[in-house]
Amino acid sequence: MAQEMIVVQHVFKSVTDSTGTLTILRDIDFSLRQGETAAIVGASGSGKSTLLSIIAGLDTPTSGTVFIDGVDLFARDEDQRAALRAQKLGFVFQSFQLLGNLTALENVMLPLELAGRRDARSAATAMLQRVGLGERLGHYPKVLSGGEQQRVALARAFVVQPAVLLADEPTGSLDFATGEKVMELMFELNREQGTTLVLVTHDRGIAQRCERRITIEAGQASEPAEAAA
Q: How far apart are CA 116 and CA 101, in angstroms?
A: 21
Q: What is each CA distance from 219 to 24, 55, 71, 115, 214, in whole angstroms?
A: 5, 15, 25, 36, 12
- Name the H helices within the chain: 48-55, 78-88, 104-114, 120-130, 146-158, 176-193, 204-208, 225-228
Q: What is the DSSP string of 63-86?
A: EEEEEETTEEGGGS-HHHHHHHHH
Spell out the domain ranges in the chain. 4-228
Which candidate, 179, 201, 205, 45, places its Cα nearest to that of 214?
201
Which candidate, 121, 4, 29, 165, places its Cα nearest to that of 153?
165
Which candidate, 210, 189, 209, places its Cα nearest to that of 131?
189
Q: How far apart are CA 185 and CA 132, in angstroms?
A: 10
Q: What is the pLDDT of residue 229?
A: 46
Q: What is the pLDDT of residue 17?
A: 87
Per-10-residue mean pLDDT, the chain, length 229: 88 92 94 95 90 95 96 95 91 89 96 91 96 95 94 94 93 88 91 94 90 94 69
CATH class of 4-228: alpha beta
